[in-house]
Structure 1
């Protein structure tokens, strides 16, 4: 009776897609459509449309003309984002300490469907600061946060991020020399760049790292130089303080201290 009850709520198309994903996940090598069909006890025509949809949605990649393999999209869905509530609760005290020491604002960002989204923000302790509101969505290509999130992604994750970005309505152009810039950012561990949005602001961005040294978030200081005081930390000092903050958060949020 229990099996009969479960059968009433079966979704054959969903079952078919999950069967394909589970098969490819358990296989070290790519497979042809015919091989997948044989392994699942189905005809090639029966799984053609499902394979096509999985490829279009980025869960499966078609390689060498007629072979299929699993992408890292499922991995990204499961591991790319730490739970936002925990991420923010752990980050806010560290962000508060950074802002007090550097006398600058800062904000925490994560990757979200082709853009960078601000999930936490901390004002500078003085009256003067530059900040971005929580919930703001900004570009992957022309922000320090976006560069850091791209630089500290795996090649497969980066390809997925950029493919999702291509679906956005605005500005689709990929900056020249982006790959070499991202390589430099990964090598040095941070990004420093003039703001593309505001004069006088200089973005300082560093990754919060998870397993495999991939970024689960980025912490950015939109550095605003002060000309009325000489006792305020300069840009180099603010960057050093920012890197201390991201190292601390990387340990707290799962990178560990085994290196």
Structure 2
């Protein structure tokens, strides 16, 4: 196949750096820094972290705040708003997934008396897209929009098992059983039960997780929870065009 980039002439191609947009680069750097921060960052803190001066970032921060991507706290620090998350949800695939999952997730939470959440893979993290709250007075929930390391969670393991050729004892077992399950290392009494939501091609488009809380108030045992999560995940997959296995 022959051809080239539109407008390309003869001779060596211009260096990639010649196409850079410094102001845009600064803005993206700030967004990525704020996304990875555990708390608000001041102008001076952002400048120090990026090796830039406060003057270089003043207009960038002002623009991000004006456009609604960053919020300034009363103490003068900056945090990300939910605007990037909202933009991501405007994508047709995400809208279709959320629409397909809303009903099954609500019915699942009501059936088992526990909360459930829907996560997708974004690079090296699992992003929580939706949650159905527990109808019971107790339950374990996570914030919609929260991100967790892909390699440190059973939800991430399920997504990896059904979207890549990666191997290993846990991933192989997940593929054989069709689900993942692990006691939460940070929260005693919570067991994450995770089932992939499979698309038409058999790959996981998302993972449905129930952080099962075992207490004397739990009206549904974990065996019934496993079956209920599998049915809900299959229902979501069917709504997305997945044929019955």
TM-score by length of 2: 0.62
User: Which residue of structure 1 aligns with residue 220 of structure 2?
Assistant: 233
- The ranges of structure 1 where at least 4 consecutive aligned residues each deviate by more than 4 angstroms after the TM superposition are none
Counterpart for residue 200 of structure 1: 189
Task: Write the distance in 1 (CA, Å) between the matches of 2:195 and 2:229.
Answer: 7
Match of 1:77? none
Deviations 1:137-192 (Å, cap 9, x if unpaired)?
0111221210110000132xx5xxxxxxxxxxxxxxxxxxx711101101110001
The count of corresponding residues between Structure 1 and Structure 2 is: 167
Partner of 2:130: 120
Native 8 Å contact 1:144 1:220 kept in 2: no
Look up the match of 2:198. Answer: 209
Change over 3 Å in CA distance of 1:241–1:154 after alignment to 2: same
Higher relative contact order (CA 8 A, sep 6+): 1
Pick from 168, 171, 191 the counterpart of residue 179 of structure 1.
Answer: 168
1:242 and 2:229 correspond: yes
From 79, 82, 95, the equivalent of 2:105 is 95
RMSD: 2.7
Question: Are 2:136 and 1:149 equivalent residues in the alignment?
Answer: no
From 10, 35, 52, give the equivalent of 2:6. 10
Paired with 2:242 and 2:164, the residues of 1 have a C-alpha distance of: 16
Query: What SS does the aligned partner of 1:219 have?
Result: strand
The corresponding residue for 2:94 is: 84
Unaligned runs of 5+ in 2: 17-90
**Corresponding position of 1:137:** 147
Aligned mates of 1:226, 1:100 — CA distance in 2: 17
TM-score with structure 1 setting the length: 0.59
What secondary structure is seen at the aligned counterpart in 2 of 1:85? helix
Does the C-alpha gap of structure 1 residues 200 and 251 become closer, same or farther in structure 2, counting only changes over 3 Å? Answer: same
CA distance in structure 1 between the aligned counterparts of 2:182 and 2:240, rounded to whole angstroms: 26
